[in-house]
Amino acid sequence: MFRGEIKNKSKNIFLSSANPKDLVVIKSIPKGNYKSQLLRFGIFEGQVVEILSKLPGGTLVIRINRQEIALGANLTKKILIEKL
């Protein structure tokens, strides 16, 4: 088998690349103040998140446990996810 033939089904990408209606798993969140703020909203590694909409300017609206949260574009570029 050649290297080009090896395919990894799951790719880690940033949350900013997700599209509406995607289900994703949070793989990594930034350390520091961002992490503590995200934990208050129930956003942590391993959490399954549904992408509801992508607003102009890059803001994402996500759903976690029947709660809708808007995350700014700068933050979504720092959260690593895996699509389900």
Count of C-beta atoms within a 10 Å radius of residue 46:
7
pTM of the model: 0.82
Boundaries of domain holding 63: 11-83
Q: Which residues contact 57 (CB under 8 A, 6 or more apart)?
A: 73
Number of domains in the chain: 1
CATH of residue 51's domain is 2.30.30.90
| 5: in domain | no
How would you write the pLDDT of the chain (84 residues) with one tens digit per residue? Answer: 445 544 445 578 999 999 999 999 999 999 999 899 999 999 999 999 999 999 999 999 999 989 999 999 999 999 999 999
